[in-house]
Amino acid sequence: MLTSTKELLETAQKHSYAVGAFNLYNLEGVKAVVKAAEADKSPAIIQVLPHILEYGGSPLIALLLEAADSATVPMSVHLDHCEDRDIIKMALAAGVQSVLADGSKFSYQENLAFTREMTVLAHAQGATVEAEIGRISGTEDGMTVAEKEAKMTDPYQAKEFVEESGVDFLAVTIGNVHGKYHSEPRLDFGRLAKVRQQLQIPLVLHGASGLPALMIQQSIELGVSKFNVNTEVRQKYLQFWREYGRTNDQTDLLDCQKVATGAMQAVIAQKIRLFGSAGKAQHVAEENHDSI
């Protein structure tokens, strides 16, 4: 059931769990998220990066929206990390529920102006906006932000930014990275607690792949309501095809697709349970007077 990202995250925030936002590329990914969420009666977010959306075009957007809508649990579709006004406009016009208007590589003032403009645009269409303040390092689908370019979120600047932009959710940088953690992850929970003291809106943590359960739990306690997951699911998919191709002369592609979907579904199910959203689908519906 297509549900707004705002409803999903505000309900999660109120009841101290988080919703997983899973980056997807194709039908197998979509099915893996929907099946995992339905099996665990959990809300979930289907998330897509701008260059995947550009590649897939309107058929892909239609697939994502239809998959979310026909799911038996509340789901939304979210455009991840986008600094391109035209792609944001296209996604909103197509009906996505939320976007990450990512001005984090710009100066503070430019990021603020960009985020404010995209927020006005999204709100006019009943959609919501995530912003990023600070800058997350690491690699995501070929886009690399070097460690020296990364910037932690300043809690006071975050408060001013949210007030002035009118944004709905904020992605924080507290030591989280996109892609593989090359050493033990170290999150600055003191900083996260200060951000939470300054802000009431749902907070987002990117780079959830590879974070241990205790850190996930502590992040939720300090106000994180959305975790972004890409690497672990993507790697599972790639690993499946690599190994399958080497050891199997199976030629029925559909059978392969089903097994690949199942492999991703298992990773997603594990995350859903870790984030505490399993069993919360009914909960979202009740809070928002929908029936599922």
DSSP 95: T
Query: HEC profile for 140-209?
Result: ECCEEECHHHCECCCHHHHHHHHHHHCCCEEEECCCCEECCCCCCCCCCHHHHHHHHHHCCCCEEECCCC
Residue owning tokens 């590589």: 105
Nearer to ligand 13P, 180 or 258 (CB): 180
The Cα 98–Cα 128 span in angstroms is 5
Nearer to ligand 13P, 1 or 145 (CB): 145
Nearer to ligand 13P, 43 or 207 (CB): 207
Nearer to ligand 13P, 122 or 285 (CB): 122
With a CB cutoff of 8 Å and minimum separation 6, the contacts of 264 are 28, 29, 32, 233, 236, 237
The Cα 226–Cα 18 span in angstroms is 5
Q: How far is the CB of 290 from ligand 13P (least distance, A)?
A: 27
Burial of 71 (0-12, 13-18, 19+ CB in 10 A): buried
Among 13, 18, 80, smallest CA distance to 43 is for 18
Q: How far is the CB of 51 from ligand 13P (least distance, A)?
A: 13
Candidates 3-11, 28-36, 206-214, 217-225 — which segment interacts with ligand 13P by CB under 6 A?
206-214
> Does residue 230 belong to the site contacting ligand 13P (CB under 6 A)?
yes
Nearer to ligand 13P, 160 or 188 (CB): 188
> Does residue 231 belong to the site contacting ligand 13P (CB under 6 A)?
yes
Candidates 107-115, 204-212, 243-251, 263-271 — which segment interacts with ligand 13P by CB under 6 A?
204-212
> Does residue 208 belong to the site contacting ligand 13P (CB under 6 A)?
yes
Q: How far is the CB of 129 from ligand 13P (least distance, A)?
A: 15
Q: Among residues 6, 194, 206, 283, which is the contact residue for ligand 13P, using CB under 6 A?
A: 206
Question: Which tokens go with 209?
Answer: 């792949």
Candidates 112-120, 147-155, 207-215, 278-286 — which segment interacts with ligand 13P by CB under 6 A?
207-215
* Contact (Cβ atoms closer than 8 angstroms) between residue 170 and residue 158: yes
> Could you tell me how many residues of this chain bind ligand 13P (CB under 6 A)?
14
Active site residues: 80
The Cα 151–Cα 145 span in angstroms is 10
Candidates 65-73, 115-123, 159-167, 226-234 — which segment interacts with ligand 13P by CB under 6 A?
226-234
Interface residues for ligand 13P in 23-42 (CB under 6 A)? 23
Q: How far is the CB of 231 from ligand 13P (least distance, A)?
A: 3
